Amino acid sequence: MHKKKKSKKMEDLVSYVSQQLEGIQSIPSVLADRALKIGALSFFALFLGSYMGRQMGSASFIFWSVELCIFGLFYSFRLLRCGEKREYETVEGMVYEVKGRYSIGRVCKVGVRMEDGRMVRLLMDKRYRFRIGKTYRFYFHKDKQNVLTGMKNLDAALNIGSFYGVEELE
């Protein structure tokens, strides 16, 4: 009788773990990569901050390092949860123009032609390099795409956290 209870618990545990692995495998690689980088950076900040805090004898330095690590880990788990529950929007299409790549400022306009024929213009950071004629998938947060002031460059600068990443499709 006792072995049946143990085997039932083990079966439940195995099914729970396999269900969680299926959820993790459905997360887009862009979100998983970003969460991994943020998590690794958080642990790096924790270890470096703890070391420096001990060297300087400052408990507040250690405290803020721990706080920074907790915040970073929370953000990376939130990204993974967002990917698992599909709480993101995607814009997928071919880039037909890139304006402002060489002008002053930190954003450029990227024109994307979607498969249904609609054309969308996105304000993107210049550190992303887009090639005209290539197909990309852009990941955005559903709730954070708000127009704040009506000025495009200011809105792009203040709307931090709504853009998760981009991947090139073949």
CATH number for 92: 2.40.50
Residue 49 has pLDDT above 60, yes or no: yes
Other C-beta atoms closer than 10 Å to the C-beta of 149 total 9
Confidence of residue 70 (pLDDT cuts 50, 70, 90): very high
Res. 146: pLDDT tops 60: no
Do 122 and 63 sit in the same domain of this protein?
Answer: no
User: Residues of 102-140 as b/e, b for ≥16 C-beta within 10 angstroms?
Assistant: eeeeebbebbbeeeeeeeeebbbeeeeebeeeeebbbbb
Say if residue 80 is in the same domain as residue 94: no
Interval 35-49 mean pLDDT: 94
Of residues 19 and 76, the one with the higher pLDDT is: 76
pLDDT-derived band of residue 23, with 50, 70 and 90 as boundaries? low
Same domain? For 48 and 16 the reply is yes
pLDDT at 95: 93
Among 142, 77, 156, 67, residue whose Cα is nearest residue 110: 156
- Of 51, 84, 117, the residue at which a domain comes to its end is 84
Of 84, 102, 120, which residue is a domain's last? 84
Do 101 and 79 belong to one domain?
A: no
pTM: 0.70
Task: For residues 58 and 132, state if they share a domain.
Answer: no
Give the domain range for residue 141: 88-169
Kindly report the average pLDDT of the chain as a whole number: 82
The predicted pLDDT at position 156 comes to 55
Query: Radius of gyration over alpha carbons of the chain, in Å?
Result: 22
Residues 76, 110, single domain; the answer is no
The domain tally of the chain equals 2
Query: Is the pLDDT reported for residue 157 higher than 60?
Result: no
For residue 125, give every residue at least 6 positions away whose Cβ sits within 8 Å of its Cβ, in sequence order, or none. Answer: 106, 107, 163
Residue range 86-133, pLDDT digits in tens:
888 888 899 999 988 888 877 788 889 988 988 888 888 888 889 999
| Residue 77 sits in the same domain as residue 103 | no
**Residues 106, 153: Cα–Cα separation, whole Å:** 9
Residues 6 and 79 in one domain: yes
Task: Report the range of poorest mean pLDDT among 36-40, 95-99, 152-156.
Answer: 152-156
Q: Of 37, 64, 84, at which residue does a domain stop?
A: 84
- pLDDT of amino acid 11: 77
